[in-house]
Structure 1
Amino acid sequence: MDLSVKTAVEAWLNEGSIAESDKNEVRELLASGNEKELTDRFYRELEFGTGGMRGLIGAGLNRMNIYTVGAAAQGLANYVAAQGEQAKKAGVVIAQDSRRMSDAFALRTACVMAGNGITAYLFESLRPTPELSYAVRHLGCAAGVVITASHNPKEYNGFKAYWSDGVQVVPPHDENIIREVRSVGGFGKVRVMEPEQARAKGLLKTAGSEVDEAFLHEVQASCLQPDLCRKHGRNLKIVFTGLHGTGGVLVPEALRRRGFEQVIEVPEQAVPDGEFPTVHSPNPEEGAALNLGIDLARREGADLVIATDPDGDRVGLAVRGPDGDFELLTGNRIAALLTYYICEQRKRNGTLPADAALVTTVVSGGMMKDIARSYGTEVIEVLTGFKWIGQKVGQFEEARRSGRPSRTYIFGAEESYGYMPATFVRDKDAVTSSAYIAEMTAVFAEEGKGLHKVLTDLFQRYGYYQEGAKNITLPGKEGAEKIEALMNTFRTEPPQTLGGIAVVAAADFETGRNHDLHTNKLIEQYDLPASNVMMFTLADGTRVIARPSGTEPKIKFYILTRAPGDDLEKAQAEATGRIAAIVADIENLAR
């Protein structure tokens, strides 16, 4: 065993603040001689990154447990306290999803805040992430935390930090909090107050129905066509599943308030359960997660299936196709439909601002961007991560307050099934997005169209857009080193062709430089924060993006392509073949 790992294991076993049960978990690994597992648990501390941390649950420095969560909470508490007494009094609001240990991690976070003299608002039970983002601003808090690993497998959990604007922490707060977390100085330095004492001192308060009601009021107030929702909501049937997570707390009620009377929940998945017993992965990006919902929709004669992930920020969708059966829509296509719906309805209502802006990411599909531009809406591309979309809203508002040129946010989306159709939330929001999906279904029904027909019409108008993805998982220390080496190769020796198509440009988002591969001339200098992302542009306009995940041991490849939409069958075959050829090359490069 590596000496540094051995030293870390011994320190864990000798730490007085760690319970014997958590030490015994490590002792059992020692007794079994499982050096590989011990190395993975102790070769580093679980990294607190720019939005928080996420990892496997278990004993060890590189695991999610009450000690690593406590240290993260202590670092955040130190930073909040550094803002002054008013920030300590304003406090931190904390929410949790249905995962293993989420309740314990949320309570530990609250008790650490109280131990540092900071008011903690702890939701009485699980709540979706968008409500946490909303609650930060609604309660006037200095910061917020949600305990979740989003759509990751059941073995994971996480800690996401938000600042007073309701956005996941961005510069300078993210780096400052990371610095505080790193300087905590050991688990024994974490200040924890017992819950009973914290409540008696007024430092631990409960958040609950009052925040729920205020949030749901905002969701309903954002409706663009309430009359048509009520008209068609009597007959439209919607199957909903929260995939054992937080979505069931608010989504069904939000839909009912929108006017949809026939909301049918998948009973097997309506009960929160961190084991996610009915799905291999609680991820609405994966079609299998919607199988039970689709089966129920067939039996009930429903019009669409809506699914949200465990923390209620992502939403997946299945709609009736031409043959009457259900078809899954990708995140980019849902985003395109929502972009079209919002732009078109605002244009009809006379509420589409002259300075309207769609905010999306560089890795998201082109269809929503082209739709927005056709309505005179500016498209602003940011880095991957919804915090950069949420941040733009605040920047627009600040510019307007100071009398500088600004934009009016009308919609934000990313390819990974995240959408933000209103600004009272500053993160991806599956609750409000579900209400908008149902709403646009009702409005298009007034025109005699289903969502699939609307999408087909958009293809014929704007072109056939298709996206591909390839995720390569490389766990452990060796995997992390291989991912780093691969990204270095992309920078120093970019591929000349992908899928048999010439690569004409390479953009490195660490430097912000997009250059021509043949002339090496600068094409564009991006004004974005440095990020470990490479983007290759092919001769036919296809984009291929490589991005190591910040939360999982994998490197992600995004492929964005387009074919003429006049013959959709031919276009689909052309795009599918192009993507398959590019994926084959990626697999060879990653070997």
Structure 2
Amino acid sequence: MDLQTMKNYETWLFDPYFDDITRQELKEIMGNEKEIEDRFYKDLEFGTGGLRGIIGAGTNRMNKYTVRKATQGLANYIKSKGTEAMDKGVVIAYDSRHMSKEFSQEAALVLAANDIKTYVFEDLRPTPELSFAVRYLKAIAGIVITASHNPPAYNGYKVYWEDGAQVATKLAKDIMEEIQGIHDFYKSVSMDKEEALRGGLLRYIGDEIDNAYKEAVIGQSLRRKENQQVVEDFKVVFTPLHGTGNIPIRSVLEEIGFKRVLVVPQQELPDPDFSTVSYPNPEEKAAFQLAIDLAKKEDAHLIIGTDPDCDRVGAVVKNNEGEYVVLTGNQTGALLVEYILSAMKEQKRIPANATIIKTIVTSEMGATIAKNFGVDVFNTLTGFKYIGEKIKEYEETDEKTFLFGYEESYGYLSGTYARDKDAVVASMLICEMAAYYFAKGMSLYEGLIKLYEKYGYHLEDLKSITLAGKEGMEKIKKTMDTFRENPPTEIGGYQVKIVEDYLKQDKLPKENVLKFLLEKNTWVALRPSGTEPKLKIYCGVVENSLEECRSKVDSLIHAITDSI
């Protein structure tokens, strides 16, 4: 352990600025060099979306001091834009995680101490509603306290700008520089809560935004009237996985006519420990076990589940053998592309310059479907902030009309009322879509098979390798460097035709991603996670059956993991 790391630890341990609870936590790890190093060898990094880390004492942890420092950096940046920017204010939302409410208040009071007014939601709200609220209130920025679908030990801090999107590359870099320029935690000023309220620098918000947001979501409904004939018979099981999705999704579904929505009772209420699941992630089938049990009992037609901050949604449907299977984000995305465009085509509403946006590691199936409707497709880097950035660009230039954006990691957005993925609107559209197939005597799974038969069987997979701590970061860097400097000529028996290095291209912002285009419509991509200590391996194939796809995908994943 180097001297600076130990110096950082001792400062937090003995300086009276840090409270007794913090100092006591640090006393308990005295002598544990590995733990001290992990907590203090660096500052918790403000990436392109914000902070995310384990809750606890230390510079490399989420705590009120790191939240204050990040907020002071954001405040400094806003102040550099002048009094008009300061007067617009900042909207703050939070989810059901440990310390989320406390961190949201810390952020609000730092902004207030810098004469920047804040609008704070009175209780937990979905992340996409924060995106909407920034635009609705014409604020300069937004903050949401969440760690999305990470385990309970984590929390995070995401920053949005006045367009309602997460801060993207250039803006994130500028804010990051302000934060990094704060070398002394004492420079993060704060204000008494009552003083902030009296001075009009802190205002609580709720119903007005809720109602406007709900109206905007329902405005994306496509077949509300047509589905009235079946919604009373169509049964949906919903789980918010102890998060923020319970009230808004039930309210929207009720408003558009769904009468039989059953909520998993054990997962209905907020719970920061996510005590019924090991991992509150709708990408994982295990997270749906209680929902599947309820669906079997009630013979439900569809299961939907949202992550804690309600920006991702997973769907579970019955296959042809009557078993409930979790659709991948790519499968749901392709179904939604076809559903949205077919409905708009029937209604003669597809603009001449319409476009769908997806990410570079998302399946090509949705792109193939869109092109069949004469709709363009644009690929962005991984992360919905890049989709939000393109929406803003299209609105400013009128070059394209954005219809739908999605990514393989269960994030979807229809319309432009928000600039982030929205599980509320996606849940509504998935239910509407499944009811549409139900009215035709088909399940959503049968609808998917029909698309496969028309466009080819597509299958993708993601393997995440967790490499925690300082050693893990070094391992991830070494792996990426090796593949970049000595790219393979074949992977899993398939020849590499093209290597796309996103650190060496000019069409998109530069990012540490490698994508290998192989023969036979096959691809593999590697990227370090921006929010977790993981190396992510993606792959996609096209074959004549799902069985052939699965065999091919498995061989590609094994070929990469065996070489690491």
Question: Which range, TM-score by smaller chain?
Answer: over 0.9
Q: What does 1:472-483 correspond to in 2, within 5 Å?
A: 472-483=465-476
Partner of 1:298: 296
Partner SS for 1:537: strand
Partner SS for 1:216: helix
Q: CA deviation at 1:65?
A: 0.2
Give me the whole-angstrom Cα distance separating, in 2, the residues matched to 1:238 and 1:500: 43
Give me the whole-angstrom Cα distance separating, in 2, the residues matched to 1:274 and 1:486: 35
Q: CA deviation at 1:39?
A: 0.4
Q: Is the 8 A contact 2:169 2:509 kept in 1?
A: no
Q: Which amino acid aligns with 2:513?
A: V
Give me the whole-angstrom Cα distance separating, in 2, the residues matched to 1:280 and 1:129: 22
Partner of 1:518: none
Q: What does 1:435-454 correspond to in 2, within 5 Å?
A: 435-454=428-447
Q: Is the 8 A contact 1:304 1:318 kept in 2?
A: yes
Give me the whole-angstrom Cα distance separating, in 2, the residues matched to 1:229 and 1:200: 50
Q: Residue deviations 1:504-530, cap 9 Å, x none?
A: 211100011xxxxxxxxxxxxx50000
Give me the whole-angstrom Cα distance separating, in 1, the residues matched to 2:463 and 2:21: 40
Q: Is the 8 A contact 1:229 1:258 kept in 2?
A: no
Q: CA deviation at 1:556?
A: 0.0
Residue 9 in structure 1 maps to residue 9 in structure 2: yes
Partner of 2:507: 527
Give me the whole-angstrom Cα distance separating, in 1, the residues matched to 2:113 and 2:143: 16
Partner of 1:574: 548
Q: CA deviation at 1:207?
A: 1.2
Q: CA deviation at 1:49?
A: 1.0
Residue 555 in structure 1 maps to residue 553 in structure 2: no
Q: Is the 8 A contact 1:160 1:168 kept in 2?
A: yes
Give me the whole-angstrom Cα distance separating, in 2, the residues matched to 1:426 and 1:105: 23
Give me the whole-angstrom Cα distance separating, in 1, the residues matched to 2:174 and 2:155: 23
Q: Is the 8 A contact 1:15 1:188 kept in 2?
A: no
Give me the whole-angstrom Cα distance separating, in 1, the residues matched to 2:204 and 2:363: 41
Partner of 1:275: 273
What is the percentage of aligned positions where both structures have the same residue?
46
Partner of 2:325: 327
The 10-residue stretch of structure 1 (217-226 or 96-105) with the greater mean CA deviation from structure 2: 217-226
Partner of 2:196: 198
1:288 corresponds to which of 281, 286, 289: 286
Give me the whole-angstrom Cα distance separating, in 2, the residues matched to 1:536 and 1:96: 38
Give me the whole-angstrom Cα distance separating, in 2, the residues matched to 1:180 and 1:2: 26
2:460 corresponds to which of 460, 463, 467: 467
Q: CA deviation at 1:436?
A: 0.5
Partner SS for 1:470: strand
Give me the whole-angstrom Cα distance separating, in 2, the residues matched to 1:450 and 1:81: 54
Partner of 2:23: 23
Q: CA deviation at 1:273?
A: 0.6
Give me the whole-angstrom Cα distance separating, in 1, the residues matched to 2:115 and 2:177: 20
The 10-residue stretch of structure 1 (455-464 or 163-172) with the greater mean CA deviation from structure 2: 163-172
Give me the whole-angstrom Cα distance separating, in 2, the residues matched to 1:236 and 1:6: 61
Residue 189 in structure 1 maps to residue 187 in structure 2: yes
Q: What does 1:102-251 correspond to in 2, within 5 Å?
A: 102-251=100-249
Q: Which amino acid aligns with 2:332?
A: I
The 10-residue stretch of structure 1 (228-237 or 418-427) with the greater mean CA deviation from structure 2: 228-237
Q: Residue deviations 1:382-434, cap 9 Å, x none?
A: 0000011111111111002xxxxx11111100000000012101100000100
Q: Which amino acid aligns with 2:493?
A: G
Q: CA deviation at 1:68?
A: 0.2
Which 4+ residue blocks in structure 1 deviate beyond 3 angstroms?
none
Q: CA deviation at 1:581?
A: 1.2
Give me the whole-angstrom Cα distance separating, in 1, the residues matched to 2:438 and 2:129: 30
Partner of 1:589: 563
Partner SS for 1:179: helix
Give me the whole-angstrom Cα distance separating, in 2, the residues matched to 1:450 and 1:284: 20
Q: Residue deviations 1:327-358, cap 9 Å, x none?
A: 21000000000000001000000001111100
Partner of 2:74: 76
Partner of 1:539: 519
Give me the whole-angstrom Cα distance separating, in 2, the residues matched to 1:397 and 1:471: 36
Give me the whole-angstrom Cα distance separating, in 1, the residues matched to 2:280 and 2:234: 26
Q: Residue deviations 1:51-103, cap 9 Å, x none?
A: 10100110000000000011001111111121111211110000001001111
Q: CA deviation at 1:261?
A: 1.0
Give me the whole-angstrom Cα distance separating, in 1, the residues matched to 2:181 and 2:86: 20
Partner of 1:456: 449
The 10-residue stretch of structure 1 (169-178 or 408-417) with the greater mean CA deviation from structure 2: 169-178
Q: Calculate the TM-score normalised by the size of structure 2.
A: 0.99
Partner of 2:504: 511
Partner SS for 2:159: strand
Give me the whole-angstrom Cα distance separating, in 1, the residues matched to 2:27 and 2:82: 43
Give me the whole-angstrom Cα distance separating, in 2, the residues matched to 1:494 and 1:276: 41
Partner of 2:377: 379
Root-mean-square deviation over aligned CA pairs: 1.0
Q: Which amino acid aligns with 2:504?
A: T
Q: CA deviation at 1:185?
A: 2.7
Q: Calculate the TM-score normalised by the size of structure 1.
A: 0.94
Q: CA deviation at 1:148?
A: 0.3
Q: Which amino acid aligns with 1:494?
A: P
Q: Which amino acid aligns with 1:22?
A: T
Q: Is the 8 A contact 2:227 2:439 kept in 1?
A: no
Which structure 1 segments of 5+ residues have no match? 401-405, 513-525, 565-570
Q: Which amino acid aligns with 1:535?
A: K
Partner of 1:61: 59
Q: CA deviation at 1:448?
A: 2.0
Q: Residue deviations 1:246-279, cap 9 Å, x none?
A: 0113111111111101111111001101100000
Q: Residue deviations 1:213-235, cap 9 Å, x none?
A: 00001111221112123222211
Give me the whole-angstrom Cα distance separating, in 2, the residues matched to 1:561 and 1:325: 24
Q: Is the 8 A contact 2:413 2:422 kept in 1?
A: yes
Partner SS for 2:395: helix
Q: Is the 8 A contact 2:285 2:326 kept in 1?
A: yes
Q: Which amino acid aligns with 1:537?
A: L
Which structure 2 segments of 5+ residues have no match? none
Give me the whole-angstrom Cα distance separating, in 2, the residues matched to 1:317 and 1:531: 30
Partner of 1:403: none
Partner SS for 2:28: helix
Give me the whole-angstrom Cα distance separating, in 1, the residues matched to 2:186 and 2:389: 35
Q: Is the 8 A contact 2:463 2:557 kept in 1?
A: yes
Give me the whole-angstrom Cα distance separating, in 2, the residues matched to 1:302 and 1:550: 37
Q: Residue deviations 1:12-43, cap 9 Å, x none?
A: 1233321021011111101xx21111100000
Partner SS for 1:251: helix
Q: Is the 8 A contact 1:44 1:62 kept in 2?
A: yes
Q: Is the 8 A contact 1:127 1:249 kept in 2?
A: no
Q: Which amino acid aligns with 1:546?
A: L
Give me the whole-angstrom Cα distance separating, in 2, the residues matched to 1:234 and 1:220: 19
Partner SS for 2:273: coil
Give me the whole-angstrom Cα distance separating, in 1, the residues matched to 2:225 and 2:321: 30
Give me the whole-angstrom Cα distance separating, in 2, the residues matched to 1:170 and 1:331: 23
Give me the whole-angstrom Cα distance separating, in 1, the residues matched to 2:69 and 2:438: 52
